[in-house]
């Protein structure tokens, strides 16, 4: 599973909108939207922040492991 799909799955499972997630991560809603659409890739620090927020490993967030 790719990052964009994993992020969307985790976000929806938590019942969060893109705006709510963006606010939690101190990002713009458009950044989250672009990630989920696969238009841009997050920075390393953003990947770490996403992993910490969802209490997952970066490998899981990036789709390296299931």
> Per-domain residue ranges for the chain?
3-61
pLDDT category of residue 63 using cuts at 50, 70 and 90 = confident
Cα 14 to its chain centre, rounded Å, is 12
Query: Encoding tokens for residue 18?
Result: 């893109």
Angle between helix axes 29-37 and 3-13 (nearest 10 degrees) is 120
Q: pLDDT of 23-53, one tens digit each?
A: 999 999 999 999 999 999 999 999 999 999 9
pTM of this prediction?
A: 0.90
Cα–Cα distance, 59 to 51 (Å, whole number): 9
Banded pLDDT at 65 (limits 50, 70, 90) = confident
- Asked if the 3-61 domain carries CATH number 1.10.10.10, the reply is no
pLDDT at 7 over 90: yes
The answer to whether the CB of 20 falls within 8 A of the CB of 28 is: no
Q: How confident is the model at residue 66 (pLDDT cuts 50, 70, 90)?
A: confident
């Amino acid at each position: 599973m790719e990052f964009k799909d994993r992020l969307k799955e985790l976000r929806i499972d938590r019942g969060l909108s893109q705006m709510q997630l963006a606010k939690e991560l101190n990002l713009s809603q458009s950044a989250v939207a672009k990630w989920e659409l696969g238009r841009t890739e997050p920075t390393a620090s953003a990947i770490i922040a996403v992993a910490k927020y969802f209490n997952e490993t970066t490998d899981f967030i990036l789709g390296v492991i299931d």
